[in-house]
Amino acid sequence: MDKFYFYGPVKTFFKPEKEEIFRELLTYYDKIGVISGKSAIYKTGFRDFLVTTYQEKEFLFFDEVEENPSINTVIKGAKFLRKNRCEIAIGFGGGSSLDAAKAMAFFAKNEGGFYEMLSKQIVERSLPLILVPTTCGTGSEVNNYSIITDVEKADKINFSKETTFADFAVLLPEYLTFLNEEVLISTLFDAFTHAFEGYISLKANPFSDYIAEAALKNIISILKTYSECKSFDYEKALYSSSLAGFVILHTGTTLLHAFGYYLTNHKGIHHGKANALLLPVYFKMLKNSSVKKMKRLNAL
């Protein structure tokens, strides 16, 4: 067996007692910045949960994260956190909100231009951060990737540093129940492609393969059951999404994601759906290229 490494610095809670875990995580903080989009935080009741349950705390809400968050939004959110002297941030939502929250937490402690900081090697530690995913696709809560859109270049930039990991992730399957069918399945396909691409990646190792196989088996099972009887396992889906996010922390993604980003940036197709549309052709290409692990996939 070749030498390899694995790690994951995010302390992750699966199905904790919600009130108890946030009380614990927020114990030493009085001013909390909350990063989200304009919909999920209200629809799910998470905003009301925070302000009514922890009335002794001051919550400052930045709800301007758009789908495929821009550099301008990241800088604006970071200024919001600094201006309000937030001591910790909570990122709540899908991949866009979580990615934006990681970048905002970074820029809240590191002042400078986006590309200047992207190339800088020595940086300050980010603002403490808790991430709460509301989709089963991103896996962003357990890795340090922050995919930000350069609108002028119509390009996606991975703003990742050793300091852009969250400190904590809180996985609450109840929040997936608010998704419509299209978003639910699209995001699950995003998780599938994370696990699949990590599995066939040249950077894969025995540890990432073990995690990827578990995620792939789970997601295939979820999709099969949903196709047959419209029953969706929210808990397994969220868990598998985080597993897949952990896989790409070690392996990155492949050509499939790059092509998927093109469809999202230039055709406006949801990221997970774009990846799903490309999968049949990608499978064929890999089989024609005799990629060894494609045979192992048939056994999953």
The 10s digit of each residue's pLDDT in 34-46 is 999 999 999 999 9
Q: What is the mean pLDDT of residues 103-125?
A: 95
For residue 196, count other CB atoms closer than 10 A to its CB.
27
DSSP character string of 198-218:
HHHSTT--HHHHHHHHHHHHH
24 and 123 part of one domain = yes
Instruction: Show which of 123, 150, 177 is a domain's final residue.
Output: 177
Q: Within a 13 Å sphere around the CA of 117, how many CA atoms are in the beta-carbon half?
A: 26
Each residue of 96-134: b (16+ CB within 10 Å) or e? bbbbbbbbbbbbbbbeeebeebeeeeeeeebbbbbbbbb
Is 12 within 8 Å of 168 (Cβ atoms)? yes
Print the domain residue range for 46. Answer: 11-177
Instruction: Show which of 151, 177, 203 is a domain's final residue.
Output: 177
> Distance between CA atoms of 161 and 92, rounded to whole angstroms?
20
28 and 54 part of one domain = yes
139: left (phi over 0), alpha (psi -120 to 50) or beta: left
Instruction: Show which of 119, 154, 177 is a domain's final residue.
Output: 177
Percentage of the chain beyond pLDDT 90 is 85
Query: How many Å separate Cα 179 from the centre of its chain?
Result: 16
**pTM for this prediction:** 0.95
- pLDDT tens per residue across span 124-154: 999 999 999 999 999 999 999 999 999 999 8
Q: Is residue 1 part of a domain?
A: no
Given the structure tokens 């934006």, which residue do they identify? 100
Beta partners for residue 158, in sequence order: 147
Q: Is residue 2 part of a domain?
A: no
28 and 74 part of one domain = yes
Q: Is residue 73 part of a domain?
A: yes
> Distance between CA atoms of 289 and 283, rounded to whole angstroms?
10
160 and 230 part of one domain = no
Give the confidence band of 262 by pLDDT, cuts at 50, 70, 90: confident
Residue 294 has pLDDT above 90, yes or no: no
Average pLDDT, the chain: 95
| CA dist list (Å): 160 to 145, 208, 237, 247, 284 | 5, 19, 25, 16, 31
